[in-house]
Amino acid sequence: MSYCRQEGKDRIIFVTKEDHETPSNAELIADDPNDPYEEQGLILPNGDINWNCPCLGGMASGPCGSQFKEAFSCFHYSKEEVKGSECIDYFRNMQECMQRYPELYPQEEDKDSSTQAESDTGSASAAPTEGSALSPETDATPSTSDVSSDSVSPTDSQTAS
């Protein structure tokens, strides 16, 4: 049974687990997915990539930002059977660039970022530490189905991913 107390202007309610078992009848306003004010996820409503998505970390803004954008755009718009197969050159450019900044893009073994992207639904801890640049965004897309809209703006993690 819930227990209620008033201390001046402040109200205090203690509730047991049973008290909160029945579903809530509080009404929330339905979210508009096309609300221009809202923070967008990785993919914008018109299908473009949101380079400012917090999920990308510093990938699009760092020294290798332009190479990353080229490679990922190519991959995103690719209509080939093996998605991104024609984008190998861009990815190679990106990797070369990243190798020049090992501090920002730590190199791990088996670094094939494009193939890792799709398969890596990865846990949070995997994403920042591995050099795989593309895995983070796969985390972001499921989160848009959440009650509120998507990702809050985080601060940067130590790696650029």
Binding site for another protein (CB under 8 A): 1-3, 7-20, 22-29, 31, 36-39, 51-52, 54-56, 58, 60-63, 65-66, 69, 101, 103-104, 123-125, 127, 129, 139-140, 142-143, 146-149, 151-158, 160
* In the complex, least distance from residue 82 CB atom to another protein, rounded to whole angstroms: 27
Q: Tell me the residue type at 61.
A: S
Tell me the CA distances in angstroms from 54 to 20, 41, 62, 87, 113, one per residue in order. 34, 8, 13, 24, 19
Distance in Å, CB of 145 to another protein, minimum: 10
Map tokens 């190519």 to a residue.
Answer: 74
Minimal distance, residue 128 CB to another protein, in Å? 8
Closest CB 40 distance from another protein, rounded Å? 10
Strands (E), the chain: 3-7, 10-14
Choose between 85 and 129: whose C-beta lies nearer to another protein.
Answer: 129
Helices (H) and strands (E) in the chain, counts: 5, 2
Shortest reach from residue 52's CB to another protein, in Å:
4
- Identify which of 120, 139, 131 has the alpha carbon closest to the alpha carbon of residue 157: 131
DSSP conformation letters of 139-150 = HHHHHTTSSS-S
Question: Is the CB of residue 61 less than 8 Å from the CB of residue 160?
Answer: no
CB nearer to another protein: pick between 60 and 87: 60
Closest CB to another protein among residues 83, 149:
149
